[in-house]
Amino acid sequence: MNSSTSGVHSAGQDGRVLIITAVDAEREAVLRGLGRSARFEVIAAGVGPAAAAAGTAAALAAGNYRLVVSAGIGGGFPGRAAVGSIVAATAIVAADLGAETPEGFRSVDELGFGSSRLAVDSARTARFAEALAAAGLPGASGPVLTVSTVTGSAATAEALAVRVPGAAAEAMEGFGVATAAAQYGLPVMEVRAISNAVGPRDRAAWRIPEALKALEAASTLFLEVL
């Protein structure tokens, strides 16, 4: 057992909720919010959709879960999700999965190779969004994009917003987590605490401590909603 899977949340128990983060700082924020509840397992699986899918699949093969949640920090689309707010995904979209053509980007859907959009557990997502509002936490809902490259220009941000109408946030793991969950027939959710705006790269402007605090606050609501 490594440091990312050890602790009070790894006690064997049926029907738990599996929460996948990318890095340990996110995992620790989620654990602070959850307290000592044994209903949850929280694993830091690594950055990006491949690590997320592999880590999720390995956890699902080893345990008994009823729900999978992709959680962490993320970029918020201007006008949709402000820094410090919490986004509940209404869909999980692999926004850069496709082909570049002379006519522009073509998604895997258009290419006939599958779907770049996976459904979330809409009932639990709605309950979570209601709980955010009731707790007075700043929240937003909308599709959350999974990208392999963090957006770093206004042009890409605009292209993604056009590609996925209503896009609220982007991150790098949701589609991998959701793909693994789907293979096990399990419902999935994605929750992102916004650390930065999607747009021109300005790493110094990322508000990671604030986002981790928001992630911790959001995770307290998992106890009542999930």
Ligand X SMILES: O=C(O)c1cccc(C(=O)CC[C@H]2O[C@@H](n3cnc4c(=O)[nH]cnc43)[C@H](O)[C@@H]2O)c1
Query: Residue from 17, 42, 45, 73 that binds ligand X (CB under 6 A)?
Result: 73
Whichever of 134 and 155 has its CB closer to ligand X, that residue is 155
Q: Are strands 104-107 and 86-94 parallel, antiparallel or unpaired?
A: unpaired
Crossing angle for the helix pair 122-134 and 208-225, to the nearest 10 degrees? 110
Closest CA to 206 of 188, 194, 219, 221: 194
Single out the segment in contact with ligand X by CB under 6 A; choices: 1-9, 91-99, 110-118, 143-151: 143-151
Binding segment toward ligand X, per CB under 6 A, in 2-10, 91-99, 106-114, 191-199: 191-199
In order of 4, 15, 88, 220, 225, the CA distances from 8 in angstroms are 12, 16, 26, 16, 20
The residue within the footprint of ligand X, chosen from 107, 141, 196, 219 (CB under 6 A), is: 196
Question: Helices H, strands E: what count in the chain?
Answer: 7, 10
Of positions 4, 7, 25, 159, contacts ligand X by CB under 6 A: 25
Closest distance to ligand X from the beta carbon of 169 (Å): 8
Q: Is the dihedral of CA 117, 96, 102, 198 positive or negative?
A: positive
Instruction: Quote the least distance from Cβ 207 to ligand X, whole Å.
Output: 10
Residues that bind ligand X (CB under 6 A): 22-23, 25-26, 47, 72-75, 147, 150-151, 170-173, 195-196, 198, 208
